[in-house]
Each structure stands twice: as structure tokens, then as C-alpha cells.
């Protein structure tokens, strides 16, 4: 029987990995943090808070709040000033994991890479043709 024991990435304690990738005590803590964040955000007077206000008021890190949002656990639909940092540039976003600008850049890079690949293939084809033409002309002589 093998035990999948690993260090909890959150607190460093050793624990047996079952389903979660953090230890059971951290799971509990994260749940409590979620509760705090959720309750704070739901209050009418806190609707206009931003992620910094929220983090300060609840003591929950912006990173963790971002995680809740990305996991789909926390909705920011009713909190117009709520945003979290784009994973690429750190700019504020309200959906996805990167901002529109970075998504556009990624698309551009992807299309450049595709063009590059096409050029490389064409080049390889051309070389092959040249080589076979050389080969043929060499034999004709
Ligand atoms: Zn832990
Ligand atoms: Zn960005």
C-alpha cells in the first residue's frame, strides 16, 4: 500500500494527499476565508468595494480572493469595482485569467508562430525540390 504523502503548498505541513492538494487544516481555513469574503461582499454597503478593500477588511490575501473568483466559487457580478490582477501583466480584470490586451498579444504571438511554421515548411519543400532537381540534372549528364 502506498501513501501519497506531500508537503502542503500553503502551510508546509506533511499530509496524505487524497483529493485536495492542500492539507485538511488548510482546506478548513480556506473555507473559513471564503465565508468571510462572501459575507463581506454580499453586504449592500460593501457592494462598491474593490479587491484591496476586501482583502484588508477580511484579512484574506488578494491571491486567495483571485483563486475563489477563478474557481468560479465567488461571483463579482454585483460588485462593479471588484477586479483581480491579470496573470500576465497584473492589470485589473473581471473575467478570465488574463486581460483583453494580453489575450490579444497571445493571439498575435500564436499567429506569428503559425506563419513562422508555414515559412519553415515552405522552405523545406523548396529545398527538397531543389535537391531533387539537382539530383536529376546530375544524372542526365
Ligand atoms: Zn496546509
Ligand atoms: Zn494583462
The model's pLDDT over 95-126, given as tens digits with 9 standing for 90+, comes to 999 999 999 999 999 999 999 999 999 999 99
Q: Residue 136: its pLDDT value, please?
A: 81
Residues 52 and 116 in one domain: no
Mean of pLDDT values over 48-67: 95
Residue of 11, 36, 4, 7 whose CA lies nearest to 26: 11
Q: Give the separation between CA 28 and CA 30, rounded to whole angstroms.
A: 5
Assigned domain for 90 exists: yes
Lowest mean pLDDT among 22-26, 70-74, 137-141: 137-141
Distance 75 CA to ligand 1 centre (A): 25
Residues 31 and 89 in one domain: yes
Long-range contacts of 31-37 (CB under 8 A, 24+ apart): 33/58, 33/60, 33/64, 34/68, 34/73, 34/74, 36/60, 37/65, 37/68, 37/74
Residues 88 and 118 in one domain: no
Residues 54 and 123 in one domain: no
Mean pLDDT of the chain: 91
Contact 82, 76 (CB under 8 A): yes
Residues 76 and 107 in one domain: no
- Ligand 1 ion: Cβ-proximal residues, 5 Å cutoff: 8, 10-11, 13, 23, 26
Distance 114 CA to ligand 2 centre (A): 22
Distance 39 CA to ligand 2 centre (A): 29
Domain extent, residue 78, equals: 21-98
**Which ligand lies nearest the alpha carbon of 93?**
2
What's the number of domains the chain is made of? 2
Distance 104 CA to ligand 1 centre (A): 37
Q: Give the separation between CA 127 and CA 137, rounded to whole angstroms.
A: 15
Residues 43 and 110 in one domain: no
Amino acid at each position: 500500500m502506498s501513501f501519497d504523502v506531500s508537503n502542503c503548498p500553503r502551510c508546509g505541513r506533511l499530509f496524505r494527499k487524497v483529493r485536495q492538494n492542500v492539507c485538511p487544516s488548510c482546506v478548513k481555513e480556506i473555507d473559513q476565508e471564503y465565508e468571510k469574503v462572501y459575507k463581506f461582499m454580499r453586504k449592500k454597503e460593501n457592494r462598491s468595494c474593490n479587491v484591496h478593500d476586501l482583502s484588508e477588511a477580511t484579512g484574506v490575501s488578494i491571491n486567495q480572493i483571485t483563486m475563489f473568483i477563478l474557481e468560479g466559487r465567488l461571483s463579482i457580478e454585483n460588485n462593479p469595482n471588484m477586479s483581480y490582477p491579470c496573470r500576465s501583466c497584473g492589470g485589473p480584470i473581471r473575467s478570465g485569467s488574463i486581460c483583453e490586451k494580453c489575450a490579444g498579444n497571445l493571439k498575435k504571438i500564436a499567429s506569428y508562430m503559425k506563419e513562422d511554421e508555414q515559412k519553415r515548411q515552405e522552405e523545406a519543400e523548396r529545398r527538397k525540390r531543389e535537391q531533387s532537381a539537382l539530383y536529376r540534372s546530375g544524372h542526365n549528364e
